[in-house]
């Protein structure tokens, strides 16, 4: 066992999380970046594949009790038949000096510091912490395991299962990794705030003293600058030129610093009254209000304004480098018709738009239901509509990588038969399908009434998209 770990019971900030139920599929390595880097670190310390496979299987079985995370250790009860074993992972707790270096390192990086103060733990923080000399992730010689099962393997399947479930915990709360290394979330933020405040006070003190960076403590300039001033020749002054220029009279400075003397009279005047409102024009007698030309009484102005705002936001994101390299193109007439049918709030407008979609779909030779098209648009806009309508063939390397990632999303005894056709990966017998879009994201589909329907939000990770499909499959319908 790791002797550098903190005491077990009663540690400050200790947290106990509920036990995980049985998992039938899903990504064992976790969904988020923090879970993935933790899993990579564990697999680097304990790289043998067969024990890892047994650990993942035990983690899915629901035979681990509530998990307690404390400084230096993760604990849980493991159940095998009628027997129960105390299982524990240990890592060294980082000392105060290491956490001080971490705060100083963060203070030098305003973006990371701002993210932490907002409550977010950026994934790149794992690498930055290593650069600061305080690795958050365990390495060789850091991570150790202990279990009461007395199995000859080290680590045993129970300890590896606990490491797997620790990744699942980091999916929901990555701050548990800081707690494992000896600091609560509140303590990390307090240290960072203290460091930032100390730096701000130092800067203010330097300005009050008139001390510039590089100046001596007694206010004198560095020797090199003094020498340069002594070597500089005095400039000759043209007295005649000065006599030709009349000095501009300056008003004495205002004590409040807000209202110039020349404008004080104008500001002192009382405001004039506004003119009365003109009368409301009256409707001519006998005039009848004409019905809307479209037959739709809803005012389209609010929709046009909302659409223009969305388009402006996309273009602004592109200008600031937050979007793709090319600005997003405006939707073509077909895409715009589907978009309006999927998003228009007025039911009468939606019915007319549905008719338009049906007519255009017949012209295009599309065999999709209007509700399918609208659901695809609501899922991911034009990209979601493209995935529904147009299959394509990815590169063989991308298909091979996807097969490997999808195989890891299932336990060995549950992995279904996978059929790949173009960009569509179908799980035989499950009524589930993933489609790879041209944007690199994976779109979940579910078989319903003999057709494939979009299901869930797209993801860049095929295993995470599979886990979301399985989670939706296990969720009971709402009454």
| 226 or 45, which is more confident | 45
For residue 346, the model assigns a pLDDT of 64
Q: How far is CA 417 from CA 414, 433, 453, 467, in A?
A: 10, 12, 20, 16
Q: How far is CA 411 from CA 61, 118, 296, in A?
A: 10, 37, 54
Which tokens hold the place of 267? 């500001």
Order of strands, edge to edge, in the sheet holding 144-147? 15-17, 67-70, 73-80, 83-90, 144-147
For residue 3, the model assigns a pLDDT of 44
Tell me which residue range forms the domain holding 144.
15-194
Question: Quick one: 109 and 169 in the same domain?
Answer: yes
Span 391-400, average pLDDT: 88
For residue 436, the model assigns a pLDDT of 92
Question: Quick one: 87 and 159 in the same domain?
Answer: yes
In a domain, 6, yes or no: no
Nearest to 56 by CA among 84, 91, 86, 29: 29
For residue 245, the model assigns a pLDDT of 46
Residue with tokens 């399947």: 157
Whether the per-residue pLDDT at 289 is higher than 60: the answer is: no
Question: Quick one: 349 and 450 in the same domain?
Answer: no
For residue 424, the model assigns a pLDDT of 92
In a domain, 110, yes or no: yes
Nearest to 340 by CA among 329, 325, 356: 356
Question: Quick one: 343 and 465 in the same domain?
Answer: no
Where residue 13 falls (left for φ over 0; alpha for ψ -120 to 50; beta otherwise) is: left
In a domain, 9, yes or no: no
Q: At 286, is the pLDDT very low, low, confident or very high (cuts 50, 70, 90)? A: low
Cis amide linkage into residue 222, ω under 30° from 0: no
Pair type for strands 144-147 and 418-421 = unpaired
Of 165, 194, 223, the last residue of a domain is 194
Provide the percentage of residues in the chain whose pLDDT is more than 90: 13
Of 334, 353, 369, the last residue of a domain is 369
Whether the per-residue pLDDT at 285 is higher than 80: the answer is: no
Question: Quick one: 64 and 183 in the same domain?
Answer: yes
Span 405-422, average pLDDT: 74
Q: Are 128 and 105 in contact (CB under 8 A)?
A: yes
- C-alpha to C-alpha distance for 225 and 228, rounded to whole angstroms: 5
For residue 71, the model assigns a pLDDT of 92
Count structural domains, the chain.
Answer: 3
Question: Quick one: 323 and 455 in the same domain?
Answer: no
Q: At 409, is the pLDDT very low, low, confident or very high (cuts 50, 70, 90)? A: low
In a domain, 10, yes or no: no
Question: Quick one: 329 and 404 in the same domain?
Answer: no
Order of strands, edge to edge, in the sheet holding 442-448? 418-421, 424-427, 432-436, 442-448, 451-454
Whether the per-residue pLDDT at 222 is higher than 60: the answer is: no
Whether the per-residue pLDDT at 256 is higher than 70: the answer is: no
> Comparing 61-70, 105-114, 265-274, which segment has the lowest mean pLDDT?
265-274
In a domain, 179, yes or no: yes
Q: At 246, is the pLDDT very low, low, confident or very high (cuts 50, 70, 90)? A: very low
Question: Quick one: 66 and 152 in the same domain?
Answer: yes
Whether the per-residue pLDDT at 281 is higher than 60: the answer is: yes
Span 268-293, average pLDDT: 71
> Comparing 23-27, 110-114, 466-470, which segment has the lowest mean pLDDT?
23-27
Nearest to 145 by CA among 205, 64, 204, 86: 86
Q: Are 158 and 78 in contact (CB under 8 A)?
A: yes
Q: Are 310 and 361 in contact (CB under 8 A)?
A: no
For residue 249, the model assigns a pLDDT of 46
CB < 8 Å & 24+ apart, contacts of 130-136: 131/105, 132/98, 132/101, 132/102, 132/104, 132/105, 133/98, 133/101, 134/94, 134/98, 134/99, 134/101, 134/102, 134/181, 136/177, 136/178, 136/181
Q: At 415, is the pLDDT very low, low, confident or very high (cuts 50, 70, 90)? A: low
Phi then psi for residue 421, to 5 deg, are -135, 110
Q: What is the CA radius of gyration of the chain?
A: 33
Pair type for strands 73-80 and 67-70 = antiparallel
Q: At 435, is the pLDDT very low, low, confident or very high (cuts 50, 70, 90)? A: very high
Q: At 8, is the pLDDT very low, low, confident or very high (cuts 50, 70, 90)? A: very low
| Most confident of the following: 104-118, 231-245, 352-366 | 104-118
Question: Quick one: 335 and 468 in the same domain?
Answer: no
Question: Quick one: 120 and 27 in the same domain?
Answer: yes
pLDDT tens digit sequence for 129-177:
777 677 788 888 889 999 998 888 889 999 999 999 999 999 889 889 9
In a domain, 95, yes or no: yes
Of 179, 194, 209, the last residue of a domain is 194
Question: Quick one: 325 and 460 in the same domain?
Answer: no
In a domain, 381, yes or no: no
pLDDT tens digit sequence for 329-367:
777 777 877 777 777 766 666 677 677 777 776 676 666
pLDDT tens digit sequence for 455-475:
888 888 887 888 777 776 544
Q: At 296, is the pLDDT very low, low, confident or very high (cuts 50, 70, 90)? A: very low
Span 200-211, average pLDDT: 60
In a domain, 215, yes or no: no
What sign does the CA torsion over 63, 65, 69, 70 have?
negative
Question: Quick one: 332 and 408 in the same domain?
Answer: no
Residues for the chain: how many in total? Answer: 479
């Amino acid at each position: 066992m790791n002797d550098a770990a903190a005491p077990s019971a009663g540690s400050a900030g200790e947290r106990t999380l509920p036990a995980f139920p049985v998992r039938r599929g899903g990504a064992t390595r976790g969904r988020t970046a923090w879970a993935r880097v933790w899993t990579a670190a564990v697999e680097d310390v304990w790289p043998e594949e067969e024990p890892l496979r047994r650990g993942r299987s035990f983690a899915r079985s629901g035979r681990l009790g509530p998990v307690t995370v404390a400084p230096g250790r993760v604990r849980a009860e493991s159940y095998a038949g009628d027997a129960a074993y105390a299982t524990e992972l240990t890592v060294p707790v980082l000392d105060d000096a290491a956490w001080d270096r971490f705060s100083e390192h963060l203070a030098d990086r305003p973006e990371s510091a701002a993210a932490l103060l907002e409550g977010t733990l950026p994934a790149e923080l794992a690498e930055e912490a290593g650069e600061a000399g305080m690795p958050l992730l365990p390495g060789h010689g850091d991570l150790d395991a202990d279990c009461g099962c007395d199995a000859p393997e080290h680590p045993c399947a129970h300890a590896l299962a606990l490491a797997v479930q620790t990744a699942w915990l980091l999916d929901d709360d990555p701050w548990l990794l800081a707690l494992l290394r000896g600091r609560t979330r509140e303590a990390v933020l307090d240290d960072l705030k203290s460091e930032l405040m100390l730096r701000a006070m130092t800067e203010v003190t330097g300005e009050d003293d008139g001390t510039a960076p590089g100046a001596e403590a007694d206010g004198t300039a560095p020797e090199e600058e003094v020498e340069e001033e002594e070597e500089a020749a005095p400039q000759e002054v043209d007295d005649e030129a000065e006599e030709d220029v009349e000095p501009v009279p300056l008003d004495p400075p205002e004590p409040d610093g807000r209202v110039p003397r020349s404008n004080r009279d104008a500001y002192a005047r009382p405001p004039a009254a506004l003119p009365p409102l003109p009368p409301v024009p009256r409707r001519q007698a006998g005039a009848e209000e004409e019905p809307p030309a479209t037959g739709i009484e809803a005012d389209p102005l609010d929709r046009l304004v909302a659409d223009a705002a969305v388009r402006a936001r996309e273009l602004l994101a592109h200008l600031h480098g937050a979007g793709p390299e090319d600005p997003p193109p405006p939707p073509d007439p077909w895409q715009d018709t589907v978009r309006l049918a999927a998003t228009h709030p007025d039911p009468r407008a939606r019915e007319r738009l549905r008719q338009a979609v049906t007519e255009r779909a017949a012209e295009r030779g599309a065999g999709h239901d209007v509700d399918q098209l609208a659901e695809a648009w609501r899922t991911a806009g034009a990209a979601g509509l493209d995935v529904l309508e147009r299959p394509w063939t990815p590169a063989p390397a991308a298909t091979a990588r996807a097969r490997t990632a999808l195989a890891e999303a299932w336990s060995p005894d549950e992995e279904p038969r996978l059929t790949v056709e173009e960009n569509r990966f179908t799980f035989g017998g499950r009524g589930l399908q993933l489609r790879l879009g041209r944007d690199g994201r994976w779109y979940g589909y579910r078989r319903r009434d003999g057709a494939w329907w979009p299901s869930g939000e797209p993801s860049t990770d095929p295993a995470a998209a599979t886990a979301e499909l399985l989670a939706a499959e296990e969720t009971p319908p709402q009454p």
